Structure 1
Amino acid sequence: MQYIQVTFSFAGIEEYQKDLLIAELADIGFNTFEDTPDGFAGFIDQAGFDETRLTSAMLQFEGEFEYQYTVAEIAAENWNEEWEKNFEPLIIDNQCYVRATFHPSQPQYAYEIVIDPKMAFGTGHHQTTTMMMEYILAADVKDKIVLDMGCGTGILAILAAKRGAGSLVAIDNDEVCYLSALENSDLNNISNIEASCGGKEVIPDTSFDIIFANINRNILLDQISDYSKVLKAGGSIFFSGFYESPDLDMIRKECESFGIRFIDRKKNGEWVAARFKKD
């Protein structure tokens, strides 16, 4: 599979502006981002790239900062070689050690996750994934039935499985992510994750105790009604992929219309994760 790499360089950009731009790019199909000395690079599969949509997204930031970008085709295997050069292991809450296949094991941690991203989002390094993993480490997931929407590499479902979840469904609309979730489940000797490729239409007719959804505000707002249909009374939803203002209030209001109550939130930089419960 071929990918498009769009490399941005900036002058005078603030960190929150960079985060806002990344969120806009995610809305139009970019699924992986990598910091560079002058900005960042975004990756999108070639079939989903439309430079007209990119230009339209950039217009929202006209006059706020100076930028340039270049577009190049890149093969998936080349991207993964570059990723391997820069990936560093990650430790979350001194409990979970996330590493690549080429890093040594660290058995002193309670949970070790091996990730090979294959262009899929979610190695734990992004603030949204980190906060969701912190929630999972603190939650009671033992024997629970779990749905992971927008699963990316499958890292959230894998951590929940390692913490004793009974059965898990992992869904992503990107075939690369779907295949990555399957591969990473095997790498971690996880056998109780059922992965599916698609969107809300492939959510099974199952009652879930817990739902993870680390996507973006617009998709979350569109899918909350679907989550409410399959979430058990008393069940929890953990959301991330958005900002505190105005995103959290919008998501909170939509959840309340379906009897899903806001409990608390985490914040890391400009990004927010939040916990909700169905009454």
Structure 2
Amino acid sequence: MNYIELLFTTLFQEDYQQDLLINELAEAGCDTFEEVDFGFKAYIPSTDFSKADLDKRLEPFHQILSFSYEVNLIPQQNWNAVWESNFNPIQIKDQVWVRATFHEPQPQYPFEIVIDPKMAFGTGHHQTTAMMLDFMLDTVFTGKKVLDMGCGTGILAILAFQKGATAITAIDYDPVCCESTLENAALNHADGIRVLCGSKEVIPNETFDIILANINRNILLDQLETYAQKLKSGGLLFLSGFYEVPDLEIIKSAAAKLQLGYQQHKNSQSWVSAKFIR
């Protein structure tokens, strides 16, 4: 799959102004963002991109924000090179070390995850993935049955395995992500992670102790009822991929109607991860 890189040059007075623009781009289908000195980059699958549609979406923002953007095609082989050149190891709470295959191991960390990211989203560098990993460190996975929705590289499923989960299902709509999850599971000797390609319709007819979903607000809202149905009583739901304002209150309200009780949330640079219980 080829991707479109949207290179935004911005001149904003407040950080929230850029967040407004990024939120609209996420609504338009952009699934990865990267900050640069003069603005940011947004990435969207080429099959989902229409410049005319995007310009129509962005037209109202020109009245209140100062920005311009360029469109670049990123073929899959070049996209992989971009990931490799920008992939630096990260650590979470001095407990998780996430590295690529070309980095040296660090055995002093209780959990080491090796990721060959390719073009799949979820290396731990984005705030949403890092917050989900943080939540997982404080959660008991031993003997648990886990569902990872929007698995990307499989990083969350792999940590669940390393923390003792006994049955893990990882789902993503993108075949590249499914392939990436299988390859990364093998790299980490995470045997038995079941990978399914699709969306909520491919979730198996069974229930789970823990559901992890790091996607975006609209998809989470669309799938929330399914999560509630698939979560065992007392089970935990971790959501991420949305903003604190206004998304968190919208998601909390929708969750409450499904008897999913809000417990807490983490935030980082306006992004949020939230924990619910059924």
Q: Aligning the two structures, in what range does the TM-score lie when normalised by the shorter sequence? A: over 0.9
Q: Which amino acid aligns with 1:94?
A: D
Residues 31, 120 of structure 1: 8 Å contact kept: no
Structure 1 runs, 4 residues or longer, greater than 6 Å off: none
- Report the counterpart of residue 41 of structure 2 in structure 1: 41
Of 224-233 and 242-251, deviating more is: 242-251
Question: Alpha-carbon deviation of 1:13?
Answer: 5.4
C-alpha distance in 1, partners of 2:226/2:27? 20
C-alpha distance in 2, partners of 1:102/1:36? 25
CA 1:22–1:180: 2 relative to 1, 3 Å:
farther
C-alpha distance in 2, partners of 1:74/1:236? 38
Give the secondary structure class of the aligned counterpart of 2:63. Answer: coil
CA 1:83–1:14: 2 relative to 1, 3 Å:
farther
Give the secondary structure class of the aligned counterpart of 1:170. Answer: strand
Two-structure CA RMSD over aligned residues (Å):
1.5
C-alpha distance in 1, partners of 2:252/2:79? 37
- Report the counterpart of residue 239 of structure 1 in structure 2: 239
Question: Alpha-carbon deviation of 1:91?
Answer: 0.4
Residues 265, 275 of structure 2: 8 Å contact kept: yes
Q: TM-score, normalised by structure 2?
A: 0.95
Aligned length: 278
> Is structure 2 residue 126 aligned with structure 1 residue 121?
no
C-alpha distance in 1, partners of 2:155/2:60? 32
- Report the counterpart of residue 96 of structure 1 in structure 2: 96
Question: Alpha-carbon deviation of 1:244?
Answer: 2.1
C-alpha distance in 2, partners of 1:47/1:98? 31
Residues 83, 118 of structure 2: 8 Å contact kept: no
Of 156-165 and 65-74, deviating more is: 65-74
Residues 83, 119 of structure 2: 8 Å contact kept: no
Give the secondary structure class of the aligned counterpart of 1:77. Answer: helix
Residues 3, 45 of structure 1: 8 Å contact kept: yes
Name the % identity.
51
Q: TM-score, normalised by structure 1?
A: 0.94
- Report the counterpart of residue 208 of structure 1 in structure 2: 208
C-alpha distance in 2, partners of 1:32/1:45? 10
- Report the counterpart of residue 147 of structure 1 in structure 2: 147
Structure 1 portions without partners, runs of 5+: none
CA 1:134–1:258: 2 relative to 1, 3 Å:
same
Question: Alpha-carbon deviation of 1:41?
Answer: 1.8
